[in-house]
């Protein structure tokens, strides 16, 4: 099934609303905040940096970047008018942040116009991500920084044993929501092939156990997707959602995704 993000401009507005809720929920998670702080701290932001975020969605990362020390201006880019409308609403009080409609594979920006380009949980949803990297090289100033943070979504799990039916829900969600679950493992090679010098590649573990709000959205969406595929009926799907919450109440829930962050540079 095609990644809904890869076809976001034609997605049902109700589906887009669900996606907005999930991305804002994940961005607000304390562990995700801590991971972002660690990752952003490894980026070399020059004074008065001009930053582009490709695939900004509803803008939670762009909002954070706009308040980061040394950052003068942030441009959030996304192909979805619905995402951008929400992004502008949520960032109405941030003067150094603006949003532009466009495709990261064909950036509507001049050569050598940014100090930093960031893709945060974006490229795994993009068919032809190498085009986005080539465009990033073009718009970066000499010596500019490329920062990519994304999920190694092949690791996504909620299983607590063999043949766990909740894992089927998460696997279905990944199949429907991620264009390439394995992309993160190829990022260093892709960046080098695009002309970047790779400086750093780190992993970040993300676990949700006691308050797994985001991981529960994956179970729920996966159950709905399986019902849509006629792999199960709605009653069984509701039962799986209930089982996930029973595990939370019983202290048995486990959810995990590995993330990775790459820092690369355009030659001076």
Q: How many domains does the chain have?
A: 1
- At 25-71, the pLDDT tens digits run 999 999 999 999 999 999 999 999 999 999 999 999 999 999 999 99
Read off the DSSP letter of residue 162. Answer: T
Sign of CA dihedral 246, 3, 30, 57: negative
pLDDT at 163 over 80: yes
Residue 167: inside a domain: no
258 phi, psi to nearest 5 deg? -90, 135
Residue 197: inside a domain: yes
Residue 83: inside a domain: yes
Residue 124: inside a domain: yes
Residue 226: inside a domain: no
Compute, in degrees rounded to 10, the torsion defined by CA atoms 248, 216, 261, 46.
-100
- At 52-63, the pLDDT tens digits run 999 999 999 999
Residue 53: inside a domain: yes
Residue 224: inside a domain: no
Domain span at 133: 5-157+179-206+258-265
pLDDT at 114 over 80: yes
CATH number (domain holding residue 85): 3.40.50.150
pLDDT at 173 over 60: yes
3-state secondary structure of 38: helix
pLDDT at 220 over 90: yes
pLDDT (0 to 100) of residue 6: 77
């Amino acid at each position: 099934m095609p990644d809904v993000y890869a076809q976001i401009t034609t997605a049902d507005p109700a589906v887009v609303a669900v996606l907005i809720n999930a991305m804002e929920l994940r961005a607000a998670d304390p562990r995700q905040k801590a991971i972002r702080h660690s990752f952003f701290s490894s980026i070399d932001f020059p004074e008065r940096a001009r930053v582009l975020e490709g695939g900004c969605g509803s803008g939670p990362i762009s909002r954070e970047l706009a308040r980061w020390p040394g950052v003068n201006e942030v441009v959030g880019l996304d192909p979805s008018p619905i995402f951008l409308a929400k992004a502008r609403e949520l960032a109405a009080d941030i003067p150094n942040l603006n949003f532009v409609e466009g495709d990261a594979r064909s950036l509507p920006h001049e050569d050598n116009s940014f100090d930093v380009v960031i893709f945060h949980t974006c490229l795994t949803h993009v068919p032809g991500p190498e085009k986005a990297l080539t465009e990033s090289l073009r718009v970066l100033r000499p010596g500019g920084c490329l920062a990519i943070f994304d999920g190694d979504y092949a690791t996504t799990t909620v299983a607590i044993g063999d043949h766990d039916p909740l894992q089927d829900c998460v696997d279905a969600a990944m199949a429907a929501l991620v264009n390439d679950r394995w992309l993160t493992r190829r990022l260093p090679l892709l960046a080098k092939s695009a002309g970047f010098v790779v400086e750093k590649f780190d992993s970040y573990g993300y676990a949700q156990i006691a308050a797994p709000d985001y991981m529960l959205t994956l179970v729920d969406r996966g159950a709905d997707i399986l019902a849509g595929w006629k792999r199960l009926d709605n009653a069984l799907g509701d039962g799986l959602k209930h089982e996930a919450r029973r595990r939370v109440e019983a202290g048995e829930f486990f959810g995990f995704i590995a993330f990775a962050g790459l820092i690369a540079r355009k030659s001076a």
